[in-house]
Amino acid sequence: MLQVKTSLCNYCGACVGSCPVNCMFLDETIVRIEEDKCRKCGFCIRCCPVGAIDADWWSE
Amino acid sequence: MKKYEYDVLVIGAGPGGSMAARFAARHGLKVLLIEKRPEIGVPVRCAEGISQAWMKKVEIDPSDRWIDTRMEGAKIYSPDERSVIELSAEQARNEVGFVLNREYFDKYLASLAIKEGADIWLKSPAVDIIKEDGYVKGAIVRKFGERVEVRAKIVIAADGFESQMARWAGLNTVLRERDIVSCIQYRMTNIDIEENFTHFFIGSCAPGGYVWIFPKGEKEANVGIGVALNKLKSKGEVKGYLDRFIERHPYLKKGRILQIVTGAVSTCPVPKRIVDNGIILVGDAARLIDPITGGGIANACISGKWAGEIAGKCIENPSKECLKEYEEKVKKKWERKHLRNWFVKEKLAALDDDTLNKLMEVISEEDIKEISVRAILEAVQKKYPELVEEFEELL
C-alpha cells in the first residue's frame, strides 16, 4: 500500500504529476491515492523531494 | 447540485491561468477563474528567476511590488568551480532579468484578469470533468466545500505540473522518467552571494539538472536544486543533494533557511496534442517548460494570452479543428527550440565532471554577449563540434 507521511508532505504535487497512470490527486493539501490503479513503478516515491511517500512493496 | 454557466472556465490561477482569463474576458466573454488554494501565489513553487524581454508583448508592466531583485546577468559554474561562463548584458548596469516575488506577481496577474471582468473563486478545486458528445463541457468544482457544476463552452486547463484536466480529457501529457525533474529550494538568509547575478552549478552536484542561487535581496537568495528522476534511486534523495551542496560551500553554510519550497518540472519536447474539443492546455499543464533551464513563467504567460484570445475566436465553435490554431501557434514558437534544448539536456546529463570541467574551461574564455542557450551552444560548436553534431540542424 502507498502511504503519504503527512508530517513530511509539502503538498507540492511532484508525485501527482509524475504518476504514469494518474492514480494520485492533490486535493488542496491532501494527496489522495486510488490504490487499485497503482502499477507500483515507484516514480512518486523517488520524485517526492522530501521523501514523504512509502509503500510496503518498495525497496531501495 | 448547483449549476453555473460561463463561456470560459479557467482552471488554476497561476500566471498561465490568469493571463488566459484576462484575455478571454477582454474579448467580452463570461469567464470564471478557479483556484484550489485559499490564496493566489501561495505556496510558491518556483525559483522565481525570469528574463524580461517578453513582458511587453503580453502587456505586463514591471513593478517594484513584485520584483525582488534586478539581474545584470548569469554565471554558470563548472563542476570544479574553476571555470565560470558569464552571460551578461552588453553594458554593465543593464538589466536583463528579475527575481520575482511570486506571491505578489501571481496576485497582480489575477487582478488584471479581474479588471477585465473575469470572475474568480478561491478554495475551489476541479474534482471531475464534464464530458458530453466528445466535448469537454466544464467541470465539477468543489466551491468552498460545496460540489457544484460549472458548465462552459471552453475549458482552459492551467492546472500546472500535476494537471488533471488534460488526463481526464484524454490528452496524453504523461511524462517519461527522464523528463521529470524533482526540485527542492531553500530561501536562505545571512549568506554571502554576488547579488546582481543568477548563479548556476552543473555536474554531479545535480545529475540531470543543476543547482541555482537566485538572489532575493541583501544576503538573501533562493538556493535550490533540480535532479532528473532517472538519476534518483532512493527516497528523499534530492534533498540530500542540496544539503550536501550547501555543506560544501561556507558562504551558504553560514546561512539559515526561511522557507522550504518543493515541486517538480517537466523537461520534455512539446506534446503532440494540447487542444481537444472544448479544451485548451496552457503553461506547465501543456508541458511548456524549457527542457534545459526548467523555466516556464514566460511560456505560461504567452500561451495563456493566446489561449484566451483563441477561446474568443472559437467560442461559437469550440471544436479541436478551430482550437488547433492555438496548438499551431505554440508549436511554431516552441517545438523546435524545446526539442533542441531537450537534446542538449540529454547530452549534458551524459557528460562526467572531468569532461565538463575541460569543456567549460575552453568555453569560459569565449566572449558570449547574448544570454541564451543558443549563444552558449554556438560557442560550444566552435570548439567541440562533435558535441552538437546530433542536433546541429536544430541550432
CATH of the domain at A17: 3.30.70.20
B36's grid cell: 484550489
Q: What is the pLDDT of residue A36?
A: 96
On whether residue B14 sits in a domain, the answer given is: yes
Within-domain flag for B215: no
> For testing the chain B interface, which of A10, A46, A60 should be mutated: the one with the most B CBs within 10 Å?
A46
Q: CA of B174: which chain A residue's CA is closest?
A: A20
Nearest CA in chain A to B42: A12
In this prediction, residue B91 carries a pLDDT of 56
Residue A9 lies in a domain: yes
Partner A contacted by B264 (CB < 8 A) = yes
Structural domain includes residue A24? yes
β strands within A1-60, DSSP E: 2-4, 24-27, 30-33, 53-55
Q: Is residue A31 part of a domain?
A: yes
Å between B233 CA and nearest CA of chain A: 6
- Give the best residue of B173, B186, B262 to mutate against chain A (max A CB count within 10 A): B262
Cβ <8 Å between B260 and A27: no
Tell me whether residue B284 is exposed, middle or buried, using C-beta atoms within 10 angstroms of its C-beta: 0 to 12, 13 to 18, 19 or more.
buried
Q: State which residues form the domain around B33.
A: 2-46+103-176+270-342
State the complex-level ipTM.
0.97
Type of residue found at B252? L
A30: containing domain: 2-53
Q: What is the CATH number of the domain that holds B302?
A: 3.50.50.60
A12 contact residues in B (CB cutoff 8 A): 43, 45, 261-264
How confident is the model at residue B219, as a pLDDT?
A: 97
Residue in B274, B312, B306, B298 with CA at minimum distance from that of residue B372: B298
Whole-number pLDDT of residue B35: 98
Residue type, position B183, single letter: C
**The total number of structural domains that make up chain B:** 1
Q: State the pLDDT at residue A3.
A: 95
**Percent of chain A topping pLDDT 70:** 100
Each residue's pLDDT tens digit in chain B (395 positions)?
999 999 999 999 999 999 999 999 999 999 999 999 999 999 999 999 999 889 999 999 999 999 999 999 999 999 999 999 988 876 555 678 999 999 999 999 999 999 999 999 999 999 999 999 999 999 999 999 999 999 999 999 999 999 999 999 999 999 999 999 999 999 999 999 999 999 999 999 999 999 999 999 999 999 999 999 999 999 999 999 999 999 999 999 999 999 999 999 999 999 999 999 999 999 999 999 999 999 999 999 999 999 999 999 999 999 999 999 999 999 999 999 999 999 999 999 999 999 999 999 988 888 787 778 888 888 888 888 888 887 888 77
- A2 at interface of B, judged by CB pairs closer than 8 A: no
For every residue of B127-168, DSSP letters joined together read: EEEEEETTEEEEEEEEETTEEEEEEEEEEEE---TT--HHHH
Segment of A17-21, A27-31, B95-99 carrying the highest mean pLDDT: A17-21
Mutation to test the B interface, candidates A21, A47, A53, most B Cβ within 10 Å: A47
Query: Would B239 be classed as within a structural domain?
Result: no
Work out how many domains chain A is built from and give that number: 1
Instruction: Provide the grid cell at B109.
Output: 496577474
Nearest CA to CA, how far is A35 from chain B (Å)? Answer: 17
Give domain status of residue B165, yes or no.
Answer: yes
Q: Does A56 touch chain B (CB under 8 A)?
A: no
Q: Is residue B86 part of a domain?
A: no
**Which chain B residues have a beta carbon less than 8 Å from that of A45?**
235
Would you say residue A45 lies in a domain? yes
Report if residue A35 sits inside a domain. yes
Closest chain A C-alpha to B348 CA, distance in angstroms: 21
State the pLDDT at residue B6: 98
Burial B90-101 (b: 16+ CB within 10 A, else e): eeeeeebbbbbb
Give per-residue burial for B299-338: e unless 16+ CB within 10 Å, then b. bbbbbbbbbbbbbbebbeebebebbeebbebbeebbeebb
For residues B120 and B179, give the distance between their C-alpha atoms in angstroms, rounded to a whole number: 33
Average pLDDT for A19-45: 96
Element (H, E) at B246: helix B237-248
A60 within some domain: no
